[in-house]
Amino acid sequence: MTKLSFGAHPFLLGFDQLERLVERTAKSSNEGYPPFNIEQSSENGFRITLAVAGFREEDLSITVEDRQLVIRGKQSDDEGKRVYLHRGIAARAFQRSFVLAEGVEVAGAMIENGLLHVDLKRVVPEPRVQTIAISRGKERRNA
C-alpha cells in the first residue's frame, strides 16, 4: 500500500506548501537556547518572548524570510578585556526560527528587563463570496 502524503490528498488542493512548511519546521535546529515563551495576547495576536539577558539591542536581529521569523543574537567579543574566575552566564550566539502562517505579520518588537518581546498579529481577510460564471462547452474550447 502506498503512503498518501498530506499535500497529495485529493480534497486538499493547493496545500502541498503546507507539507513543505512542516518539514522545514521539523528540520530547524533550535536546540534549547535561549528559552522562550509563546502566548496568545488577543484573539488575533501572539507574543514570542525570548530570554536574552546580556544581549544589547544592537546584538539582536529579527527578520522574516519566506514566512519564517528568524531571531538571531550575537554578543560583541570582549574576551580580551575580562578575566573570568568562573563563567556561568552563556554568551553564545543563537538563532531561533518560527514558521509564520499565511496572514501572520510581525507587529513590533521590544527589549525589556532581559526579555525580547516580538508581537505578531493575524490579519483576518474579509470573507467574500465569489460567483463563478458557467459557460457552454463550445465557448470554453474556443477560448
Q: How far apart are CA 99 and CA 43, in angstroms?
A: 19
Write down the domain spans for the chain: 1-30, 31-142
Query: What pLDDT, in 10s, does the model give residues 22-36?
Result: 666 666 555 688 999
pTM of the model: 0.70
The pLDDT assigned to 3 comes to 54
Average pLDDT (73-78) is: 81
100-118 per-position pLDDT tens digit: 988 999 999 999 999 999 9
Q: What is the pLDDT of residue 98?
A: 92
What contacts 21, CB < 8 A, 6 or more positions away? Answer: 67, 99
- Sorting pLDDT into bands at 50, 70 and 90, what band is 124? confident
CA dist list (Å): 1 to 4, 7: 9, 18
Over residues 25-72, the pLDDT tens digits come to 666 555 688 999 999 999 999 999 999 988 999 999 999 998 899 999
**CA-based nearest residue to 26, from 135, 122, 99, 86:** 99
CATH number of 31-142: 2.60.40.790
Check residue 55 and give its pLDDT. Answer: 92
